[in-house]
Amino acid sequence: MTSEIIYKGTLRTEAKHLQSNTIIETDAPTDNQGKGEHFSPTDLLATSLGSCMLTIMGIKARDMQVALEGTEVSIQKIMKSDPRRVGGIDVYFKFPASLHVDEKQKIILERAAMTCPVAKSIHPDIELKVNFSWQ
């Protein structure tokens, strides 16, 4: 088992990661009858993509002895209706000015990001836009 999830009422859930016992709470978003006080489940879907991409880049960067610390990823989730679903995810990478990589390393890191397991698991109907902003 990976996690256990409990419905807390008022459109809120509490998920426990079984290996670490860390907790994530979710709320329905305000545009779907929720409070929006925590990540929504669809927020987590989109956010997991950015986190996964950055993690896989981190593995490749470590192998190349490149320090990615300070790299930021911003996520924009685009919802569609009928049926209500995630229709797109925009991913914006911003690398610190202190990061010095050559063109070959940039290509390797960008390709690594695109091969992350979450990216490979997202349905092709979800439009992904990924922008790498190298300083």
Query: Which helix (H) or strand (E) element contains residue 16?
Result: strand 12-17
DSSP state, 29? -
Quick one: 47 and 94 in the same domain?
yes
Judge whether residue 135 has pLDDT over 90.
Answer: no
Report how far residue 67's alpha carbon sits from residue 69's, in angstroms, rounded to the nearest whole number. 6
Phi and psi of 107, rounded to 5°? -60, -45
Quick one: 18 and 50 in the same domain?
no
Q: Among all chains, which residue has been given the structure tokens 């989109």?
A: 46
What is the pTM for the complete model shown? 0.93
CATH number, residue 101? 3.30.300.20
Percent of the chain with pLDDT over 70: 100
Quick one: 17 and 63 in the same domain?
no
Report how far residue 125's alpha carbon sits from residue 60's, in angstroms, rounded to the nearest whole number. 28
Report how far residue 15's alpha carbon sits from residue 28's, in angstroms, rounded to the nearest whole number. 14
Mean pLDDT of 24-43: 95
Domain coverage including residue 17: 3-32
Residue-averaged pLDDT of the chain: 97
Quick one: 45 and 88 in the same domain?
yes
Report how far residue 108's alpha carbon sits from residue 66's, in angstroms, rounded to the nearest whole number. 12
Nearest Cα to Cα of residue 45 among 24, 30, 59: 24
Report how far residue 50's alpha carbon sits from residue 53's, in angstroms, rounded to the nearest whole number. 5
For position 78, what pLDDT does the model report? 97
Report the number of distinct structural domains present in the chain.
2
Quick one: 119 and 62 in the same domain?
yes
Q: How confident is the model at residue 86 (pLDDT cuts 50, 70, 90)?
A: very high
